Amino acid sequence: MADVRLKGLSKTFNKRLAVDDLSLDIRHGEFFVLLGPTGAGKTTTLRLIAGLERPDKGSVSIGGRDVTHSEPAERDCAFVFQQYSLYPHLTVYDNLAFPLKSPLRRLSKEDIDVRVREVAETVHISHKLDSKATQLSGGEMQRVGIGRALVRRPNIYLMDEPLSSLDARLRSDLRLELKRIQQDTGATLLYVTHDQIEAMTMASRIGILENGRLVQCGTPREIYENPASVYVATRLGTPRINLLPAGVIPAGSEPTGTSVIGVRTEHVVLGDPSSSASKARIGKVERLGDQTFLHVDVEGHKLVLLADPHVALEADRAVGLSLRAPLFFAADGARIHAGQEARQ
Amino acid sequence: MTEASTTSRPGLVEQVIRRHPDPVSVRFRGLSDRTIAWLFISPTIVLLLAINLFPLLWTVYLSFTNYRANRPNAELRGMGTTYYEQILSDPDVWESMQATAHFVIATIAIETVLGFAIAYLIDRKFRGHAFWTTVILIPMMLPPAVVGNFWKFLYQPQNGLFNAIVAPVLGVSPGSFQMLGDVQLAPWSIIIVDVWMWTPYVVLICLAGLRSIPDYLYEAAEVDRASPLRQFWSVTLPMALPFIMLAVLFRGIENFKMFDLVNLLTSGGPGSTTEVASITLKRAAFESWRTGYASALAVILFVTVFGLANIYVKALNRVKQR
């Protein structure tokens, strides 16, 4: 069992709070993604779990064992770094074999060979086993980096934006690959990213970080449909959620205390100008091929909505617009559910 | 007809150039970029030719003549390869080459091990880090003449500091041995001074090498459960190796032609125990005034250093490519 439990974790760098009283339970076999912008404390959290940083306060336990003060080697985590942290003077084979040659795990040469070739197969790098690490392309290096983590079968895998420096196609390939590997091995995986697509496609659960604090935690669907705050709502969804001041468009059952209304495509019904709640005008139609973005002007505010690629709408046309169960937020950004009052 | 077409061609080219003028050649009318580039680097080239290449070629020329610098007006005779044959079959010259080799190998071995060890020790954060780094580098910043002279004082058997400190450790009286006067000790006395003076240089280069190793490699190794010793062997040393080899190259070339310290401390003595090749050369050139002979020796030394350095650089490049 390799569940991870963080309790009240805090870490300060140069008087700046990087991680602030963070508590989190990651269950065994979960693909957990920490999502947040640069500087939200994602990487620090990961490094605290790996033991590369020591917390100022709080505790880390892995598999029920308190490892707050243990060395990285004792924690049995594998770490995939954002930069390709391969040993440049070694071949791909030796890079993959490196963690296995630890004296802590007396493996025979044959066992190591079997494991290395198996993992090389998994990350599709078998053909480059004899190449030097420096002769690989970025994608290949990161695949070796991931392979070096996999080869050990550790308690948990920690990955720090492993795909961020790769090109788009490779990223989507490796995304699927990682998800598949995690499902096949049933490993516990903690993944850090600022990319919402990575979070949405791979995670069993997502944790949203804001300034070192965990602001919401749940399945991708829960977080998308039921964000706890404006901050969380703007993390997920393309195009980004539209934020309108309350009262611009009548939203029906607007709870008292609402100051901002969050509007996504699925909250909008476009119709005939005469029979709808608001009159709007199509500004621009952005056709991206597989999808179409509609820029809609309502009472001097602009909404960006997703439309069917075959939509017949054209720029500068008047349309009617009504809302269907949008998200309501109080002035401090907190979510207010319909039929509920803002907390004071 | 053909004449007309050839004369009209340059006109066309000029027209094109005039229409797309080059910024620099607009300001310096009539000069192409290439010409201007050559003008800029020509002073350096002329200087290099005058102070590097010309003396080299002139030395090669003199090595085939019986020229003597103290008798510039004497009749100049071609000697062919006589001097080269003399030098290569002279046991004294071979001995001085051996002395040089011993000196080079001993100093490089000690300086590299010591220099890397010191660099490894000071390549971490501790109080007064910058201060101690500077202190360590001081010997390297002193002029060799100063170093040679004060070590001569330190080495004095009766009242020198060196004997006063070393003698009690060995349990002998300070006056009982002479560092510079003893056949056995004289080579070591020079090696000690060279190590004292130039280890900091190796420290500096090794420090640059150690600083160039990214932290995340150590972190990766730590997560991969590599022990500190294994981290040293599999990360630190291989990553720093090209730098160490570079330090060895620089010290090797320098010490092959070591002259100043030896000349100041022992002038090749006692006897000829510390007579390295450069001392032999100086004696032939400026004591016996056999300029032709000395030139031939200089050419041989040059070819030796040049050849060894080239082989070494090839090896160095191979290490870097790994």
Which domains are assigned to chain B? 2-62 (no CATH), 84-321 (1.10.3720.10)
Is A77 at the interface with chain B, CB within 8 A? yes
Looking at chain A from residue 110 to 139, which residues have their Cβ under 8 Å from any Cβ of chain B?
132
Closest CB to B223 among A72, A89, A103:
A72
* B15 vs A136: which has the higher pLDDT: A136
Are A79 and B220 inside 8 Å of each other by CB?
yes
CA A305 to chain centre: 23
Tell me the average pLDDT of chain A: 87
Is A106 at the interface with chain B, CB within 8 A? no
- Owner of token pair 């003396």: B55
Beta strands, E only, chain A: 4-13, 16-26, 31-35, 57-62, 65-66, 77-80, 156-160, 188-193, 205-210, 213-218, 242-245, 260-263, 268-271, 278-287, 292-298, 301-307, 318-323, 327-329, 335-336
Cβ neighbors of B231 (< 8 A, separation 6 or more) are B218, B221, B222
Chain B nearest C-alpha distance from A128 (Å) = 15
Domain boundaries, chain A: 4-235, 242-336
Strand ranges of the sheet holding A4-13, from the earlier edge strand across to the other edge: A16-26, A4-13, A57-62, A65-66
Are A98 and B234 inside 8 Å of each other by CB?
yes
The neighbour count for residue B181, using CB atoms within 10 Å, is: 14
In this model, does residue B263 exceed pLDDT 50? yes
Is there a shared CATH topology between the A4-235 domain and the A242-336 domain? no
Which two three-digit tokens encode residue B255? 């010490």
- Owner of token pair 């709808």: A276
Point out the residues of chain A with pLDDT beneath 50: 344
Closest CB to A98 among B219, B224, B239:
B224
Cβ neighbors of A29 (< 8 A, separation 6 or more) are A186, A187, A188
Size of interface A-B (CB pairs under 8 A): 59
Chain A nearest C-alpha distance from B247 (Å) = 20
Are A73 and B223 inside 8 Å of each other by CB?
yes
Using alpha carbons, list the distances in angstroms from residue A57 to A12, A23, A46: 10, 11, 15
Q: What is the pLDDT of residues B93-123, one digit of tens each?
A: 898 999 999 999 999 999 999 999 999 988 8
Please name the CATH architecture into which domain A4-235 falls. 3-Layer(aba) Sandwich (3.40)
DSSP state of B65: B
* B1 vs B193: which has the higher pLDDT: B193
* B77 vs B6: which has the higher pLDDT: B77
The answer, yes or no, to whether ipTM is higher than 0.85 is no
Whole-angstrom distance, CA of residue A273 vs CA of residue B236:
72
CA A344 to chain centre: 31
List of chain B residues whose C-beta atoms are within 8 Å of the C-beta of residue A104: 225
Homologous superfamily of the A242-336 domain (CATH): Nucleic acid-binding proteins (2.40.50.140)
pLDDT band at B28 (very low <50, low <70, confident <90, very high): low
Question: How much is the pLDDT for B300?
Answer: 93
CB B163 within 8 A of CB B153: no
Phi, psi torsion values for A104, nearest 5 degrees: -65, -20
Q: What is the pLDDT of residues A185-229, one digit of tens each?
A: 888 999 999 999 899 999 999 999 999 999 999 999 999 999 999
Q: What is the pLDDT of residues B196-227, one digit of tens each?
A: 999 999 999 999 999 999 988 999 998 888 88
Question: How much is the pLDDT for B12?
Answer: 64
